[in-house]
Amino acid sequence: MDRSVALVYADDTKSTNRHVKGVLFEIDANPELFGIQPFANISSISQFEDEAEVLFAPGSIFRIVHIFSDHSMWIIRMVLCGDNDHDLTPILNHMKKEYTDNAETHVGSLGCILVKMGKFDQAKRYLVRCFEELPPNHYNTGVCHHYLGIIASEKGDYDSNLECYNKSLKIKRLYLAADHPSIAMTYNCLGSIYLAKGEYTQAIVSYNKSLRIFKRKHGINHINIAECFSNIGCVYFKQKKYFEAQDYYRNALTIQQQQLPSNHYHIGESYVNLAGISWIFGELESALKYYKNALDIFQKSLPDLHLRLALVYHGMGAVYVKKKQFQEALSNFERAADIWRHILPSNHPHSIKVTRNIQYCRHKLNQ
């Protein structure tokens, strides 16, 4: 294929809108890969004889390998995947079931997906537009408030987050029974905000309200139970009750490994939690192993610039500092900083902390 021709089209956006950048897709497609959707070089029948063209069939699945800017345009590198791609198939099947079974996502589906991808600004624009098109106190405004609350939490705006969740809960109560799973979901989210604000007693109260509803509706081995266990473990961790936290984290991981695909990001999050416990106990090799397990999962299931990846890199950096391997620590801190630079404001606690850690490692290396 002639890259220069593609660059002409990608660069053409400048002539129509100076605020828009062109995008160039670089696709690696192996025709011998089993189970792929068909594609073909159609240059010989193209209307434009001097252009090379490849046609991909509808339903083709691509793995995004890397996204970066060369200042003049965005470059997206992708690989064509087959039906039997063992990394993707379980994840895709689980995601299809998750989004078709979840009544919460019928209005906010795109917003929910964007939130889980870490695309918070795009998700907020979409949800605000949905919210503005709905009448006051419509059930779906509660759904929008819920996801806007998640975005505010990820941005570190906990007061706005708490306001969104309380509005969501108020609207849901107008339509749903007190023990509806959607109510439990909001209690769970409220618990996370109280946890972030350091109000641990209130966090436990909210998590236990959620846990009781989910147990009545789903039994003890449901994935929502695992989420409650994981969150309660986080409260105990903050309270420095590390053995209790470890028990809850392990129980959450056991359920997740039974109910989720092996590369699901929730399993990765449990590895991160257990890594934190190992780090506290001084079990550095165990902590590093958990972080590497989490990194392997996140690299397969999340976009390159996702918040969770940055948290893993930062955690690994902290372990290497304990091991006095400052070059490795610096490398991981810089990876975390690069991700947070793209998705968080410079005054966010994560951004401030990683900057200090980078300065510390550089100081140690220059001694």
Strands 39-41 and 54-56: antiparallel
Q: Quick check: helix, strand or coil at residue 79?
A: strand
Determine, yes or no, domain membership for 50. yes
Let me know: does 118 contact 350? Beta carbons within 8 Å.
no
Mean pLDDT of each 10-residue bin along the chain, 367 residues long: 73 61 86 74 77 81 80 83 62 54 52 74 83 82 84 81 88 90 90 91 95 93 94 96 97 95 92 96 96 94 87 96 96 95 87 95 92
Backbone angles phi, psi at 80, to 5 degrees: -70, 130
In a domain, 126, yes or no: no
pLDDT score, position 99: 47
Q: Of the candidates 275, 274, 271, which has an alpha carbon nearest to the alpha carbon of residue 263?
A: 271
Residue 344 lies in a domain: no
Confidence (pLDDT) at 223: 92
Give Cβ neighbours of residue 28 (< 8 Å, ≥ 6 apart).
65, 77, 78, 79, 80
How far, in Å, are 74, 190, 211 from residue 182 at the CA level? 39, 13, 12
CA gap 229, 235 in Å, rounded:
10
The pLDDT assigned to 81 comes to 81
User: Are 339 and 155 contacting, i.e. CB atoms less than 8 angstroms apart?
Assistant: no
Q: What is the rounded distance in angstroms from the CA atom of residue 265 to the CA atom of residue 285?
A: 22
pLDDT, residue 24, reads: 87
Tokens of 111: 């917003």
Could you count the other beta carbons within 10 Å of the beta carbon of residue 127? 25
d(CA 149, CA 151): 5
- Asked whether residue 176 is assigned to any structural domain, the reply reads no
Q: What is the pLDDT of residue 86?
A: 47
How do 61-69 and 73-81 pair as beta strands? antiparallel
Residue 65 lies in a domain: yes
Can you tell me the distance from the alpha carbon of 356 to that of 309, in angstroms, rounded to the nearest whole number? 19
Establish if 147 belongs to a structural domain: no
Residue 10 lies in a domain: yes
* Residue 56: per-residue pLDDT: 86
Beta bridge partners of 78: 27, 64
Count how many domains the chain has. 1
With respect to residue 18, please indicate whether it lies within any of the assigned structural domains. yes
Domain housing 63: 3-81
pLDDT for the residue 105 = 44
Three-class SS state of 67? strand
